[in-house]
Amino acid sequence: MTKSNPSQSFELKELENLEAMDEEQFIRKNFFYQIECLKVTTDTFGEFSHINYSANEKSKYIRLSEDCDIKNVLTLLRDYWQLETPDLIISVTGGAKDFDIRKTLKESFGKGLMKTATLTRAWIITGGTNSGVMKLVGEAVKDFSTAYGKQRKLITIGIASWAKIRNREQLVRTNNSYATVYNPKSKNGDEIELDVNHTHFFLVDNDINEYKEEINFRAKLEKAVSEKYLSRNFENDSQKIPVVCVVLEGGRGTISTCLSAIENKTPCVIIENSGRAADVLCYAYRKFEKIDQPPFTYENSVRRFFQEYADDVKYDIEEKFKTKFVTLFEMNSEHNSISLDEAILASLRKGGSKDVLQQLRLALAWNVLEIAKEHILNNDIDTKEIQKLFMEAVKICRTEFVSFFLRNYDILANLLNSDEVVLLYRNISRNVFGKNLKGKLTEENIAKELTNLTIHCQQEYYSFDYNNTAKELFVYCIIKNQKQLALLFLDEMENPIAACLIAEVLLKELGLKIDDSEIQKEMENNSSFFGSLAVELLSECYLDDAKKAQLMLVREIAMFNNTTLLTLAKAADNKTFIAHGACKALLDRIWRGIKFLKPKEEELVKWEKIRVDHYMSILENKEKDIILEKLHHLEKMTERLTTAARKSYDGYKIVSVHAKTDTQAKWLNYLQEKNVDFLVPPMKVDHEAVMLLSPREFLRVKVLLHKINLDFKIIHSQVGEDLRNMFKRLDEKKQFDINDYNTLEDINSYLDNQRNNCPSGANCEIEVIGTTHERREIRLFKLTKPGANRRIYWFDSAIHAREWLAPATNLKIFDTMIKQTDADSISLLNKYDFYFVIILNPDGYVYSWNSERFWRKNRSPNPGSICLGTDLNRNNDICWRCDGTSSNPCSDTYGGSAAASELETKAVADTVSKYGSRIVAWNTIHTTAQMILHPYGYTENGICYRADDHDDMFRVANAYADAVENTYQTVWTRGTSCETIYAASGGTDDYVKAHGNVKYSFTPELRGPGFNPSPSAIEPSYQEMWNGIKAMIAEIEAIESE
């Protein structure tokens, strides 16, 4: 071995013409590194394979100095190791020694890391040895390579101390050979073997036998790659590659590394409950952010750590810890609604890159449209860059992104050319398309293959039309078997019926040529879908104008080589299309001798006139309007039935518990903070709490409940089956039903109809009081009679999306009042106006129908988090986040990023300001605890706060609850939420009372059980509430008359 003391830097020397040599010749003859200070050669570089692995599995390595010139290192990475520019650098730091880790945690960490790296073409950087967290990363890379093949091996760079490598002398070149075999067979003191699953190694040496020199080099390298790797000459570049630090377990050095990263404004994701240093950092984060510590989770771990290390650790943390750049992630929890890859994205958003295009590329890779919207709509981005992002979205099938670009930009013009087409079709597996193509993929070869697929319906050679981008992208999406993406481009085409038939042909032909049975079945289904769609669109046109529909069938379609719809239908063997009434009428017309153009020349001339005079003025407008309407209808149906596939609740259980001690109640509240779904939240001791648990959550929670000696009862074990049966019935329901659950669309249609059928002498008006994030209207129905400053009774519902019984009951109350069905309703409307908001949270309500039945919050994005939604009943500007509100965006009780941050909350505040002086009583209807609650829900100095007129409110609430109870002899609680169940601030009832000058503000919690009662519960719930409302009004009138 050649002894060296690399205290300065190295440089590359090229002694001959490099272009004339292959890589092996160059390496053997001319590639060496020279230590400038001593002018001696180090020959510790090349490739090594591990003795216990295949000789083909090699890792590149080089030994160099800690303070070498970083530009030379970048040259090595780019020009000699030829590493492509990453979109992200993931720096993994943590325990250097092996530590105990549960199998599920290990698997979750590895899968999350690999998903992030593949989505973003990341480089992973570790300490490079076969121990501790580095070994975990190596094993994850190995598992990934085994599963997906060596061609998808990830770039994993190890930066290790030369002095601590076991059997390092084997890596020194002794015979001018570039490759060597590494055999770490014997243990030698504290020396550690390299992890062979890493692809590249920097072995850092300053001839001082310490385990520290690589840390400084690693920080310098990460910074240089981030700031300069995009630049060809390694000068400062305006674009930077984002870096994220992932911390797992670790010791004193890990804390130093993390704090150094934070000082460099590098976002850090810290794995909670992974032990030692990571737990200390999590403890500090929660302390600084004033977030409750998990019960007993960190106590022992933190104490042991500070016994091992001096107090300077505390000093460093207090001085250098900046929570803006920190994201906590509890990998060991079943209650996280986000995965590790999403936590990494959240950290980059929270602290990270300000480069707009980099953010957009990451958003595209992670398929997070909201981030892209934020950057695109708020920045002036070059059209070419938008087009690049659009094409990338098409290639990786990001349907929402493609839809967004098409809706907001004129993006299809001058988009495609020969090179782009080749790049597109390279994304399709040769097993699906072009299996028999020989040689390099070219535009000509692609056209030949498309000709083979369509020759019997076009009769001519397929040629690309770059002036008709929508058609070419539609065909590409069909070949790729991406139905939803294809529908977006169908919407942009002039001849959608022809396009549907072409799609049917292509998918049938492709299905015959592939071997994969699952893909084949999917292609058959999609082929049937487009064939059926063609028939439906033809029906729409035929019903509108039978003659024009017949002309459509035989007109030549230029974009598909002048073929006709009948020819396409025959080629597709679409018997339903051919048997359609329009085709029969056409054939009958021909049979009876009603002349159609026969000579092709004459046909072309006359059809040109028809296209100009009729197609552009009538057919195109009429046909296109009908088709677009049909497509939008189908899109809605698809959203309902397939695209936003409903969450399966198979295996879920609903579990009831009663905490008997404060400790048990504390644990239940901790589970709620960790996103266990509580249908009835944990209250005080001796109150029932009800949880909805997945199969895995049930096992974990069961163990915890056993440990804290808390009994539980399974009250429902067939949640998934019941929901399937319910949605099957609801999807088949044809119209609005006042005694059943109804969609937002049906509810709004019903309200519109009632507005048009207002009772005699009354006024009916719908006022839009706000618009949601997803641009749905929040509608207030005002049922009034003439008179100045008439007083108002208010009723809203569905502020929590999953509480379907609340709007169903509210609708029955509304129906009684507007139809004036009894003497009580007539009398009440003569005295008062009645205001109804049936769905206060329309985005969440729609989502609870289409995707996730037990969704509670709204659907607005949360800055710095992947998790969507805010609990609107914790978001009002009154004692915001004082009590019972989570600061975790993934929690069901998340109070929002700021008081009144949500559009729905602002709508309520504006309405209270507008009408509050006239409102006698406000009722915000919830389910399912059988309570009549009133303000206030929060505490002052640890004591439940009471209003000055508390006794009057309680008196009315008592009368309210008594009347409800007497309806069916049930038991209802009444009082403030703080005193009866738990403290919770930011509620609507509190805000209305404090800021709206509304004396009586109630939260009726309707009957149960749970949030998914049978429709048979609607009528008794209505009867209870109707009796309660009448008693409430009577008691208020009695108080006012005293």
H or E element, residue 220: helix 213-228
Of 4-8, 192-196, 478-482, 837-841, which range is least confident? Answer: 4-8
CATH, residue 708:
3.30.70.340
Q: Are residues 689 and 806 in the same domain?
A: no
Band (pLDDT 50/70/90 cuts) for residue 635 is: very low
Nearest to 683 by CA among 696, 697, 674, 672: 672
Residues 850 and 216: their CA atoms lie apart, in Å, by 52
Active site residue ranges? 1005
Which one has a higher pLDDT value, 1026 or 255?
Answer: 1026
For the chain, the average pLDDT equals: 79
The answer to whether the CB of 46 falls within 8 A of the CB of 81 is: no
What is the amino acid identity at position 16? E
Q: Are residues 823 and 687 in the same domain?
A: no
Is 235 a residue whose pLDDT tops 90?
no
User: End of a domain among 227, 252, 271?
Assistant: 227
Instruction: Return the bridge partners of 58, or none.
Output: 49
Q: Are residues 596 and 657 in the same domain?
A: no
Q: What number is the average pLDDT over the span 54-72?
A: 81
Parallel/antiparallel/unpaired status of strands 179-182 and 243-248: unpaired
Is residue 299 included in any domain, yes or no?
A: no
Nearest to 471 by CA among 492, 450, 452, 446: 492
Of 194-208, 321-335, 882-896, 955-969, which range is least confident? Answer: 321-335
Q: Are residues 624 and 661 in the same domain?
A: no
**Alpha-carbon dihedral sign for residues 515, 516, 517, 520:** negative
pLDDT of residue 903: 95
302: helix, strand or coil: helix
* Domain count within the chain: 4
| DSSP 8-state assignment for residue 616 | I
Report the share of the chain in percent with pLDDT over 90.
29
Is residue 383 included in any domain, yes or no?
A: no
DSSP assignment of 849-907: HHT-TT--S---B-TT-S-B---GGG-SSSSTTSSS-B--TTSTTB--SSTT-SHHHHH
Residues 200 and 18: their CA atoms lie apart, in Å, by 23
* Helix, strand, coil percentages for the chain (3-state, nearest 5): 50, 15, 35
Is 243 a residue whose pLDDT tops 70?
yes
Burial 586-624 (b: 16+ CB within 10 A, else e): beeeeeeeeeeeeeeeeeeeebeebeeebbeeebeebbe
- Helix axes of 356-366 and 383-395: crossing angle, nearest 10 degrees: 20
Parallel/antiparallel/unpaired status of strands 943-944 and 939-940: antiparallel
Q: Are residues 776 and 718 in the same domain?
A: no
Residues 475 and 733: their CA atoms lie apart, in Å, by 36
381-385: long-range contacts at Cβ-Cβ below 8 A with a sequence spacing of 24 or more?
Answer: 381/356, 381/357, 383/409, 383/411, 385/357
The answer to whether the CB of 936 falls within 8 A of the CB of 946 is: yes
1036: helix, strand or coil: helix
pLDDT of residue 767: 96
Of 79-93, 442-456, 484-498, 650-664, which range is least confident? Answer: 442-456
Is 462 a residue whose pLDDT tops 60?
yes
Is the link from the previous residue into 928 a cis peptide, with omega within 30 of 0?
yes
Of 378-387, 561-570, 869-878, which range is least confident? Answer: 378-387
H or E element, residue 103: helix 103-120
Band (pLDDT 50/70/90 cuts) for residue 26 is: very low
Supply the pTM of this predicted model. 0.47
Q: What is the separation of C-alpha 710 from the centre of its chain, rounded to a whole number of angstroms?
A: 35
pLDDT of residue 639: 39
Q: What number is the average pLDDT over the span 245-251?
A: 88
Q: Are residues 837 and 983 in the same domain?
A: yes
Q: Would you state the structure tokens that stand for residue 266, as one six-digit string?
A: 């590098």
What is the amino acid identity at position 217? F
Residues 568 and 574: their CA atoms lie apart, in Å, by 9
Cβ-proximal residues to 890 (8 Å cutoff; 6+ apart), any chain:
336, 337, 338, 675, 865, 867
The answer to whether the CB of 194 falls within 8 A of the CB of 182 is: yes
Is 27 a residue whose pLDDT tops 50?
no
User: End of a domain among 227, 257, 274?
Assistant: 227
pLDDT of residue 473: 93
Q: What number is the average pLDDT over the span 637-663?
A: 72
Q: Are residues 680 and 587 in the same domain?
A: no
Residues 221 and 157: their CA atoms lie apart, in Å, by 11
Tally the C-alpha atoms within 13 A of residue 48's C-alpha that lie toward its C-beta. 28
Band (pLDDT 50/70/90 cuts) for residue 278 is: confident
Is residue 201 included in any domain, yes or no?
A: yes
pLDDT of residue 797: 97
Is residue 527 included in any domain, yes or no?
A: yes
Burial 503-539 (b: 16+ CB within 10 A, else e): bbbbbbbbbeebeeeebeeebeebbebbbbbbbbbbb
Q: Are residues 809 and 930 in the same domain?
A: yes
Q: What number is the average pLDDT over the span 475-503?
A: 86
Is residue 359 included in any domain, yes or no?
A: no
Band (pLDDT 50/70/90 cuts) for residue 622 is: very low
Q: Are residues 59 and 180 in the same domain?
A: yes
Residues 1000 and 955: their CA atoms lie apart, in Å, by 11
Q: Are residues 590 and 718 in the same domain?
A: no
pLDDT of residue 616: 29
Of 299-313, 324-338, 459-473, 554-568, which range is least confident? Answer: 299-313
Q: What number is the average pLDDT over the span 944-971?
A: 95
* Residue carrying the six token digits 């019984």: 805
Report the share of the chain in percent with pLDDT over 70.
77
What is the amino acid identity at position 124? I
pLDDT of residue 189: 63
Q: What is the separation of C-alpha 806 from the centre of its chain, rounded to a whole number of angstroms?
A: 28
The answer to whether the CB of 1006 falls within 8 A of the CB of 798 is: no
Which one has a higher pLDDT value, 323 or 631?
Answer: 323
Distances (CA, A) of 761 to 638, 673, 818, 819, 829: 43, 52, 11, 12, 10
Which one has a higher pLDDT value, 312 or 225?
Answer: 225
Is residue 180 included in any domain, yes or no?
A: yes
H or E element, residue 678: strand 677-680
- pLDDT tens-digit map of 514-538: 777 778 888 888 898 898 888 877 7
pLDDT of residue 300: 61
Residues 1020 and 1007: their CA atoms lie apart, in Å, by 9
pLDDT of residue 207: 58
Nearest to 344 by CA among 83, 95, 115: 115
Distances (CA, A) of 382 to 402, 403, 687: 17, 19, 59
DSSP assignment of 416-482: --HHHHHHHHTTS-TTTS-TT--SS--HHHHHHHHHHHHHHHH-S-----TT-HHHHHHHHHHHTT-
φ, ψ (nearest 5 deg) of residue 124: -105, 130
Q: What number is the average pLDDT over the span 564-574?
A: 86
User: End of a domain among 707, 723, 739?
Assistant: 723
Band (pLDDT 50/70/90 cuts) for residue 567 is: confident
Residues 905 and 145: their CA atoms lie apart, in Å, by 49
Is residue 384 included in any domain, yes or no?
A: no
pLDDT of residue 626: 42
Q: What number is the average pLDDT over the span 988-1008?
A: 93
CATH, residue 781:
3.40.630.10
Band (pLDDT 50/70/90 cuts) for residue 680 is: confident
Q: Are residues 472 and 549 in the same domain?
A: yes
H or E element, residue 1039: helix 1018-1041
pLDDT of residue 176: 61
Is residue 102 included in any domain, yes or no?
A: yes
Listed ranges 47-61, 335-349, 386-400, 820-834; the one with the highest mean pLDDT: 820-834
Residues 451 and 748: their CA atoms lie apart, in Å, by 50
Parallel/antiparallel/unpaired status of strands 777-784 and 763-771: antiparallel
Band (pLDDT 50/70/90 cuts) for residue 458 is: low
The answer to whether the CB of 566 falls within 8 A of the CB of 578 is: yes
Residues 746 and 734: their CA atoms lie apart, in Å, by 10
pLDDT of residue 624: 40
Is 500 a residue whose pLDDT tops 70?
yes
Q: What number is the average pLDDT over the span 842-867?
A: 88
Q: Would you state the structure tokens that stand for residue 550, as one six-digit string?
A: 């017949």
What is the amino acid identity at position 138? G
Domain span at 657: 653-723
pLDDT of residue 94: 87
Cβ-proximal residues to 440 (8 Å cutoff; 6+ apart), any chain:
none
pLDDT of residue 333: 52
The CA-based dihedral angle spanning residues 881, 882, 886, 887, taken in that order and rounded to the nearest 10 degrees: 50
Burial 89-115 (b: 16+ CB within 10 A, else e): bbbbbbbbeebebeeebeebbbbbbbb
pLDDT of residue 260: 80
Band (pLDDT 50/70/90 cuts) for residue 602 is: very low
pLDDT of residue 306: 62
Q: Are residues 706 and 813 in the same domain?
A: no
